[in-house]
Amino acid sequence: MSYLIENIQLIDIPKISDPDGRGNLSVIEKDFLPFKIKRVYYLYDVPSDSTRGGHAHKELQQFLIALSGSFDVVLDDGMKRRIITLNRPNKGLLIPNGVWRELENFSAGTVCLSLVNEEYDEEDYIRKYSDFVLFKRT
């Protein structure tokens, strides 16, 4: 996949506000993401001093949403690093394959939703940063 890490941005998720002030509704439907969702999982009760992620994927694409709370996503393409904060349930982060990601600085009560285009496959993971750098050079 051809991309610049600087171009990875938060994506607005459609938000429908109730006219009677009863809250908001956000919807992700079939053509919103550039992939078909094959797996959904979420992180919660993550201690604020913990880090999640710490890997890259060869093929998998991921869309992250902070359903509640906030956390930082550290993105790394092997040459540049960038940090994006997720803290709104109507904004998500599309992470293409071939990008190292770490999730950190979780606030209390954070729930992180992950929508991905592949079922779990350990062979798709690059878990050592040195292996990731080699992968990016090939």
Separation CA 8–CA 10 (nearest Å): 7
Instruction: Give the pLDDT of residue 3.
Output: 59
Instruction: Give the pLDDT of residue 113.
Output: 98
Domain 5-137 bears CATH identifier 2.60.120.10: yes
Average pLDDT in the 24-28 region?
95
Give the pLDDT band (50/70/90) at residue 6. Answer: confident
2 pLDDT above the threshold of 50: no
Out of 52, 55, 88, 136, the active site residue is 55
- Name the pTM for this structure: 0.93
Average pLDDT in the 99-119 region?
97
Active site residue 55: yes
Mean pLDDT of the chain: 94
Every domain of the chain and the residues it spans: 5-137
Q: Which residues contact 110 (CB under 8 A, 6 or more apart)?
A: 43, 44, 46, 66, 68, 69, 70, 71
The 10s digit of each residue's pLDDT in 53-96 is 999 999 999 999 999 999 999 999 999 999 999 999 999 999 99
